[in-house]
Chain A
Amino acid sequence: MKVIIFVITSAFEDFRRNKIRTALTSLGILIGVSSVVLLSGLGVGLKIYIQQQFESLGTNLIIIFPGKVFGEDGKFRQSEGTGLGQTFDEKDVRNLRRIKLLKDVAPVFTRTASASYGSKSKIGDIFATTANIFPLRNLNATAGKVFDEGDTDKRSKIVVIGKKISDKLFNAPEEAIGKNIKIDNQSYKIIGVLESKGGGGLGGPDFDSYMYIPYTAGISFNPNKEFLYFYIEVMSEQDIPEAKKMIEEAFLKRYNEDDFSIVEQKEILNAVTSIFAVLNNILVMIGAISLIVGGIGIMNIMYVSVVERTKEIGIRRAIGATKKDILLQFLTESILLSLLGGTCGILLSYMLTLLINKYFPAQMTAMSVMLALGVSTIVGVVFGVFPARKAARLSPIDAIRYE
């Protein structure tokens, strides 16, 4: 025990004497640890971000897509032609509305369109649907109001626009209300502006650039009354499996098994997060490579240190240090060197996480900190053991004579 305490204090004394060498040697570990911690923190943040995005879409949600979206394994299917060209129609809407377990059914037709007001314009997506979409997807108006069943029935040429469209075309959401904008040359009156939903920044759907119109009014964009998918809210979460079964039965009367997918929000979430998890793991592994490089740096400097301190090793051996004492001394030094880098790396990634957090919900988990400290220790042991063994195996007589 007293050897360990002594070894630790003298190692720190050594670090103090060789500040630059110590800093440069532990820099490799610092970079490795901070990149691993930071990347895994980004991964955790990303997962939370995706979850939040999905939750904001509403709960107990089922989406019916044309074609087969998922394979047997629950991952996105890679095969070609999944439901391209396949659409649903009003008969499906009626069939779905007959299922009692379904609280809301919103058929959706969507396509890209340009919105313009005066000289300003913005590209967004038309979202032709029923009034049910608003409660279904937790959409609330920040100004004006959303449309209702009556508007759908009346085929009113009205639109509820996303925040980004409003920001682009008008100075304030309130200003947009009552104005007529041109959507691909058709005039629509704005009755509401939605609260921001975020998204869009990661290549996903940009919900704030959507323009919601009653699907009856959007016939001009969709003359065949075809729907690309259905948003369905189920009465309660327990009803989801039963509801899926009933929808499937209804749809199988009109379509082949491969022509449609009934997907729970949870399934999409799992599929998306599993993709990001793979990506994140790859990034973390790249970070881990720099840890190995850092470890080699430590090993290198420890070998130099053994040679430089040959005489010291000889003196210690002469006055009674065993091979194990010498091994312990050098091993402790390399572990401390590595831990020093690791600790600084954690501090650095903590600061970077705080910084990134302003733009993205990166999170540093206790797990990643523990892991980083553990890995630093292991790196110290693995890359320190060979130089330490060399030191311990020096013959006392050769070492003490070394000049």
Chain B
Amino acid sequence: MWDKLSMIKLLNVEKKFLLGNEEITILHKVSLEIKKQEYVSILGPSGSGKSTLMYIIGLLDLPSSGDVIIQDKDTAKMNDDEISRLRNKFIGFVFQQFNLINKLTVLENILLPTIYYNEKLNFNPSDRANELMKRFGIDHRAGSYPNKISGGEQQRASIARSLILDPDVILADEPTGNLDSKNGNIILDLIDELNKKDKKTVIVVTHEKEVSDRTHRKIVIHDGEITYIKNERLLKNK
């Protein structure tokens, strides 16, 4: 029976790479579950496999074996188009490198996920984008190109982009990695808010303990194995 609160479930997920003739295992039979509206961090040093884990959770990468179940749906049974659609609707990404497209304006970047949304939108995308830009204090940058604005502003734009289609899950990969501490804190406060105010399931991948301390649960990963899960606190579904 499926747990109504289960958002993402990984069962015995393995990821192997071939390096020359040698097979390298990045993730060893990882199983974990992330519930609705949870605020989780995946903590680990570089090379621990946390990024690979995040990419698999984010449906950007496929496991070598094991199952990734998103809201009761086994992604192994989906084709590439269905997985793309799921990424589009279900997950909002916030990257360390911001990953905004430099030739598009901030507004166009924020609107980009709506371009690939294959159903009728039940909101006006421009109004929504303006609302988000105002909320994150970048409305004056709507027409600017990403490489002409500060890192903090770029990351706020990318958070706005992640929210434009109102996804269930926000996946943040080292969101403060390219920012100074002042801007980093602004971003972390915003991410806290996404969980608290926007009721999003938030997963933050980080190597910094201070970042993971903000979350309700830490998944510690080391050499491709989960070693520690702490502070489990389920948020009740309203």
Contacts and interface: CB of A to CB of B under 8 A. Distances in A.
A111 interface: no
B81 interface: yes
A319 B160 CA distance: 13
B60 interface: yes
B152 interface: no
A323 B112 CA distance: 16
Contacts of A2: 115
Interface string B134-153: 00000000000000000000
Nearest to B161: A319
Contacts of A324: 81
A400 B84 contact: no
Contacts of B80: 322-323
B93 A318 contact: yes
B58 A322 contact: no
Of the four ranges (under 10, 10 to 19, 20 to 34, 35 or more), the interface on chain A belongs to 20 to 34
B60 A325 contact: no
Contacts of B113: 319-320
A401 to B, nearest CB: 9
B99 A322 contact: no
A282 B116 CA distance: 47
A17 B103 contact: yes
A315 B93 CA distance: 10
B89 interface: yes
Interface in A357-403: 395-397, 400
B99 A318 contact: yes
Nearest to B102: A312
A244 interface: no
Nearest to B84: A322
Interface in A313-344: 314-325
Interface stretch (A6-14, A78-86, A220-228): A6-14
> Which one of A14, A312, A314, A322 has the greatest number of beta carbons of chain B within 10 Å?
A322
Among A314, A323, A400, max chain B CB count under 10 A is at: A400
B61 interface: yes
Contacts of B88: 319-321
B234 interface: no
A332 to B, nearest CB: 13
B98 to A, nearest CB: 10
Nearest to A403: B97
Contacts of B112: 316, 319
Contacts of B89: 320
A320 B103 contact: no
A321 B84 contact: yes
Given A6-B115, A324-B81, A318 B58 contact: yes
A2 B100 CA distance: 20
B101 interface: yes
A61 B90 CA distance: 83
B116 A3 contact: yes
B104 interface: yes
A316 B99 CA distance: 10
B85 A320 contact: yes
Contact of B85 (A6, A14, A318, A322): A322
B87 A318 contact: yes
B84 A317 contact: yes
B117 interface: yes
B211 to A, nearest CB: 21
Nearest to A16: B103
Name which of A318, A397, A400 has the most chain B CB atoms within 10 A of its CB.
Answer: A318
B60 A3 contact: no
Nearest to A321: B116
A2, A13, A17, A324 pick with most chain B CB within 10 angstroms: A2
Contacts of B84: 317, 320-323, 325
Contact of B99 (A17, A315, A320, A321): A315
Q: Which of A13, A317, A319, A396 neighbours the largest number of chain B CB atoms within 10 Å of its CB?
A: A319
A390 B117 CA distance: 23
A312 B101 contact: yes
Given A397-B60, A397-B61, A400-B99, A322 B116 contact: yes
Closest 9 CB pairs of A and B: A320-B88, A320-B116, A322-B84, A397-B61, A319-B113, A321-B116, A322-B81, A315-B99, A396-B60
12 contacts: A13-B103, A17-B103, A311-B99, A317-B87, A318-B58, A319-B87, A319-B93, A321-B84, A323-B84, A325-B116, A395-B61, A396-B61
Interface of B: 55, 58, 60-61, 80-81, 84-85, 87-89, 93, 95, 99-101, 103-104, 112-113, 115-117, 161
Given A6-B115, A320-B87, A320-B89, 13 more contacts: A3-B115, A10-B103, A13-B103, A316-B112, A316-B116, A317-B87, A318-B58, A318-B93, A322-B116, A323-B84, A324-B81, A400-B60, A400-B95
